[in-house]
Amino acid sequence: MTHVFQRQIHAKMPIAVGGDGVYLIDSQGNRYLDASGGAAVSCLGHNDRDVIEAIKAQVDELAFAHTAFFTSAPAEELADLLIEAAPEGIAMVYFLSGGSEAIEAALKMARQYHLEAGAPTRTRFIAREQSYHGNTIGALSVGGNAWRREPFKEMLLESSHIVPCYAYRHKSPDETDEEYGRRAADALETEILRLGPETVAAFVAETVVGATASVVPPVEGYFKRIRDICDKYGVLLILDEVMCGMGRTGTLFACEQDGVSPDMICVAKGLGAGYQPIGATLVNERVFAAFRDGSGFFQHGHTYMGHATACAAALAVQKKIRKNGLLPNVQKQGRLLADRLTERFGNHANIGDIRGRGLFRGIELVADRATKEPFDPALKLPGKIKSEAMARGLICYPGGGTVDGTRGDHVLLAPPFIIGENEVDELVDKLGGAVDAALAGAGV
């Protein structure tokens, strides 16, 4: 009997005992191609000796010193490295232990920024439907996924949710991408005006939507229009790149491809590649200046923020990505993965959309390609796909509620940046078998 409180109470999961590049190994010696990086975390794969040695060296020197008293060399160097590559205007880094903490910090920063700037009525946050920003109360409150919110809805903070930028589901046949993007973005202005601009603190959005709707990139021009609207009404723009950032889409920050610079960027997952728990909230000079020139104090903190060992691990990860030229490989293998997915599923009767950027890809399942009608949630396709994939030695990230939080099914893919052509072929072959077997098992 296990005494570990697992999320899936009755699940009997294999015991992971080792890793080998893009593969994980269980206690029975079975090897699994990690096609989702866990949850888009393991960007360097598993058992990278350089990162492991950096962690050991840091523990030998200094494992932890509380940030109320000290900074540390790895935190300082990692911050410098991130700022060198960050979008224009981003000037400071606030280190935390994960993505939910990074979002929580950004929400509090936004609120306190407006207090420091003399706008105390700005307390409201706007986000999008079919979004996910983390599982702490604040992060869950701005998240727009109905299924995740449902058990806790009476506890959540009041937030507004506008329509997402989800071209496959919401773009009209007679619209161009530019027209659709403007229409989707203009929903933000409508909501700001409804609430009263003087009450709105920030707009929160995933640059490329992750687990909730399976890798939904914005259409061209969408975020530029969002940026203009935020500037017009004095609303901060917080981009959540916890899943899609740190090189996952082929550039270090996903928003580079959209030509925008937000007021804050939240990152985690690929920052430390799973070798240590770490996240960060990156802040632009204007926001930081309000704190620096105002109270001089951010009313927030966690025990393990800026953890020296975690920062050392993330620093080693980020240096390895640069040293080995892995972002070009993300772009190259991402194109190959997109091609292979199209070859395998492009004419599949139950795959409605194949989408994504870099090594961040998603497929959306449908009961009818012509109408885009989703499957009955009672079929529980995501669980069946996961089981069939694991049986074939493949780890992928299926999910449900793609369309509206209840209906719709998808599979998210986020393999390590070190993946090669043969492993891409293996991934798509095993995924194809798993999807077909799951559909057959569901009587489709």
Same domain? For 345 and 274 the reply is: no
Instruction: Specify if 5 maps to a domain.
Output: no
Inter-axis angle of helices 421-441 and 381-391, nearest 10: 130
Same domain? For 431 and 314 the reply is: no
Q: Assign 244 a pLDDT band (cuts: 50, 70, 90).
A: very high
What's the pLDDT score for residue 10?
Answer: 87
- Per-residue pLDDT averaged across 307-311, rounded? 98
Instruction: Specify if 7 maps to a domain.
Output: no
Instruction: Specify if 9 maps to a domain.
Output: no
What's the pLDDT score for residue 190?
Answer: 98
Q: Assign 6 a pLDDT band (cuts: 50, 70, 90).
A: confident
pTM to 2 decimal places: 0.97
Question: Domain holding 235: CATH number?
Answer: 3.40.640.10
**Where do we find the tokens 């191609």?**
33
Q: Which of 223, 333, 206 lies closest to 269 in space, CA to CA?
A: 206
Instruction: Specify if 349 maps to a domain.
Output: yes
- Per-residue pLDDT averaged across 313-337, rounded? 98
Per residue in 24-71, pLDDT tens? 999 999 999 999 999 999 999 999 999 999 999 999 999 999 999 999
Rounded Cα distance, 200 and 120, in Å: 10
- Per-residue pLDDT averaged across 374-395, rounded? 98
Instruction: With H, G, I as helix, E, B as strand and everything else as coil, classify residue 348.
Output: coil
Write the single-letter amino acid at 399. Answer: G
**Residue 2 pLDDT > 90, yes or no?**
no
Question: Domain holding 430: CATH number?
Answer: 3.90.1150.10
Rounded Cα distance, 401 and 84, in Å: 38
β-pairing, 90-96 vs 279-284, is antiparallel
**Residue 8 pLDDT > 90, yes or no?**
no
Residue where a domain terminates, one of 308, 323, 338: 323
What's the pLDDT score for residue 111?
Answer: 98
What is the tally of helices (H) and strands (E) in the chain? Answer: 14, 15
Residue where a domain terminates, one of 323, 352, 368: 323
Instruction: Specify if 379 maps to a domain.
Output: yes
What's the pLDDT score for residue 288?
Answer: 98
Q: Assign 11 a pLDDT band (cuts: 50, 70, 90).
A: confident
Kind and range of the H or E element at 362? Answer: strand 360-365
Give every CB contact of residue 440 below 8 A, 6+ residues apart in sequence.
none
What's the pLDDT score for residue 163?
Answer: 98
Token output for 146: 């109905």
Same domain? For 245 and 161 the reply is: yes
**Residue 133 pLDDT > 90, yes or no?**
yes
Per residue in 344-361, pLDDT tens? 999 999 999 999 999 999
Q: Which of 236, 141, 156 lies closest to 188 in space, CA to CA?
A: 236
Same domain? For 81 and 175 the reply is: yes
- Per-residue pLDDT averaged across 199-219, rounded? 97
**Residue 394 pLDDT > 90, yes or no?**
yes
What Cα–Cα distance (Å) separates residue 231 from each residue in 127, 162, 181, 187, 202? 16, 18, 18, 15, 11
Same domain? For 21 and 92 the reply is: no
Instruction: Specify if 106 maps to a domain.
Output: yes
Instruction: Specify if 8 maps to a domain.
Output: no
What's the pLDDT score for residue 367?
Answer: 98
Q: How many Cα atoms within 13 Å fall on the side-chain side of residue 324?
A: 16
What's the pLDDT score for residue 325?
Answer: 96
- Please give the share of the chain, as a percent, with pLDDT higher than 70: 100
Token output for 194: 């409804």
> If you average pLDDT over every residue of the chain, what do you get?
97
What's the pLDDT score for residue 413?
Answer: 98
Residue where a domain terminates, one of 264, 288, 323: 323
Number of domains composing the chain: 2
Between 7 and 15, whose confidence is greater?
A: 15
C-beta separation of 260 from 66 below 8 A = no
C-beta separation of 394 from 35 below 8 A = yes
Same domain? For 300 and 168 the reply is: yes
What Cα–Cα distance (Å) separates residue 73 from each residue in 46, 65, 78, 281, 310? 25, 11, 8, 19, 12
- Please give the share of the chain, as a percent, with pLDDT higher than 90: 96
Per residue in 81-126, pLDDT tens? 999 999 999 999 999 999 999 999 999 999 999 999 999 999 999 9
What's the pLDDT score for residue 137?
Answer: 96
Same domain? For 209 and 242 the reply is: yes
Q: Which of 360, 273, 279 lies closest to 320 in space, CA to CA?
A: 273
Rounded Cα distance, 439 and 433, in Å: 10
Q: Assign 9 a pLDDT band (cuts: 50, 70, 90).
A: confident
Same domain? For 315 and 345 the reply is: no
Same domain? For 341 and 198 the reply is: no
Kind and range of the H or E element at 202? Answer: strand 200-206
Alpha helices in 96-176 (DSSP H): 99-116, 137-142, 146-149, 167-170
Q: Assign 171 a pLDDT band (cuts: 50, 70, 90).
A: very high
What is the residue range of 25's domain?
16-47+325-441
Burial 84-118 (b: 16+ CB within 10 A, else e): eebbeebebbbbbbbbbbbbbbbbebbbbbbbbee
Give every CB contact of residue 194 below 8 A, 6+ residues apart in sequence.
none
Same domain? For 230 and 359 the reply is: no
Instruction: Specify if 198 maps to a domain.
Output: yes
**Residue 1 pLDDT > 80, yes or no?**
no
Same domain? For 250 and 162 the reply is: yes
Helix, strand, coil tally for the chain in percent (to 5): 45, 20, 40
Long-range contacts of 62-67 (CB under 8 A, 24+ apart): 62/308, 63/308, 63/309, 64/304, 64/307, 64/308, 64/309, 65/308, 66/303, 67/301, 67/305, 67/306
- Per-residue pLDDT averaged across 377-404, rounded? 97
Same domain? For 139 and 253 the reply is: yes
